[in-house]
Amino acid sequence: DSVQGLEPRVSYLIDNQLMSRRGQDTMVRLVVVFLIAVLLVSVAQTGARTRWAYTTHYDYIDVDQVLKNSRLYTKYFECLMGQGKCTPEAKELRDKLPEALQTNCAMCSERQANESHKVIRFLIQQRPEDFRMLEAKYDPSGLYMKRYEEEIKLNATST
């Protein structure tokens, strides 16, 4: 009698322990999945914020046209040198240029990075005096130019 009386209680306790473990396992899995999801979202947002920190609003500008057009080029150059009025596009460039130089354009879009290299090559080859003036203003120690020279050499050997 006493064994039969304990049997349902033991069965109930064992079932509760199993349910409790299953519940705990399920809860642990849910917490792990949730933490992984939060981590992935935060990494994705941080990566996006870091990589694309500069606005792409002005990426439509035809840089080749600006470089070929003396009037447009002069307006941008004077703005960068602090000697003339700035269009919103030129002001954005002037404001972001020091940081872009410091970070080697780490927060530029791919197009912005390509266009900036194009402009640097143009200035060195076609407008060396303007380049020296910009370099004196934005890179007086020559630190960033050394980095770009190394990058240009690397790109020249890899192509």
The pTM of the full predicted model, rounded to 2 decimals, is: 0.61
Task: For residues 70 and 42, state if they share a domain.
Answer: no
Residue partners of 144: CB distance under 8 A and separation at least 6? 101, 102, 104, 138
Residue 98 lies in a domain: yes
Residue 56 lies in a domain: no
Alpha-carbon distance of 14 to 26, in angstroms, equals 18
Task: For residues 42 and 81, state if they share a domain.
Answer: no
Residue 68 lies in a domain: yes
Looking up residue 139, the CATH number of its domain turns out to be 1.10.2080.10
From first to last of the 159 residues of the chain, give the pLDDT tens digit. 444 555 555 555 555 555 566 655 555 565 555 556 555 554 444 444 444 568 887 788 899 999 999 999 999 999 999 999 999 989 999 999 998 888 888 888 888 888 888 998 899 899 999 999 999 999 999 888 887 777 666 666 654
**Does the CA dihedral 113-119-122-124 come out positive or negative?**
negative
Residue 57 lies in a domain: no
Residue 140 lies in a domain: yes
Provide the total of helices (H) and of strands (E) in the chain, helices listed first: 7, 0
Considering its fold, how many domains does the chain have in total?
A: 2
Taking the CA of residue 52 as centre, how many other CA atoms within 13 Å lie in the half-sphere pointing to its CB?
Answer: 10
Alpha-carbon distance of 75 to 84, in angstroms, equals 7
